[in-house]
Amino acid sequence: MFKHLKTGMLIVTTASTLLFSGNAVSQAYQIESNNVSFGYGFGNFGNAVLNTYETNTNYNYSSTGPLFLKYEYGISEKFGIGLNFSYLTGVAGFNSELNGTTYYNEISRTGYNIMLRFNWHFGENDIVDPYFGIAAGFRNNIWESDFGDPNLEDLNIETIFPLGLEATFGARFFITDYLGAYIEVGLARAIAQVGITTTF
């Protein structure tokens, strides 16, 4: 996880350097604007749980995401409303032994969100658009397993009450009238996320 966080910090630092070295002429946030963002997250609790199996022999782990897709419409000079989509997968495999026989076991997790989101934009800058956002909606996690070891009980778990809530601080940095980058931290599918953003 620390490797991913270091990579994220490098991306944020590089993006910030590039963004502030250019001459931006765009208005950071406008009423009746449309904003679309695509990002990648770092630091997810559920996928961290899969790494608890790393003490087993022949352990291997792979993941996708969390990936984020966001849309926002400016309903006023300070507030926007939109939709958030997120998706992630994680798979852990490992060996276990029973009576001299080696078994291969696999456990996976898939998670996705579809949420309504409100953003409060509290900056007044032509380049940087800081905001605080809250979101609520559908959130689901599916845990499945394929255990070869007969002593391990297979999992097939889905979220019983699929309601999710999120709250994050973020900022968009624009290098042109239409294109920039964003960063967010807080309670969401990932502790931190970075990505690209466009407004029109």
What pLDDT, in 10s, does the model give residues 95-106?
998 888 999 999
Q: How far is CA 50 from CA 7, 26, 117, 146, in A?
A: 21, 43, 29, 14
Structure-block tokens of residue 84: 């958030």
User: Class of the 2-199 domain?
Assistant: mainly beta
Going by C-alpha positions, the residue among 149, 190, 157 that lies closest to residue 5 is: 190
pTM over 0.85: no
Q: What is the DSSP string of the chain?
A: -HHHHHHHHHHHHHHHHHHHHS---S-SS-TT-EEEEEEEEE--HHHHHHGGGGGSTT-EEEEEEEEEEEEEEE-SSSEEEEEEEEEEEEEEEEEEEETTEEEEEEEEEEEEEEEEEEEEE----SSEEEEEEEEEEEEEEEEEEEE-STTSPP-EEE-SS-EEEEEEEEEEEESSSSEEEEEEEEESSSSEEEEEEEE-
Q: Where are the domains of the chain?
A: 2-199
Tens digit of pLDDT for each residue in 138-181? 999 999 999 999 988 888 888 888 999 999 999 999 999 899 99
Residue 19's pLDDT band (boundaries 50, 70, 90)? very low
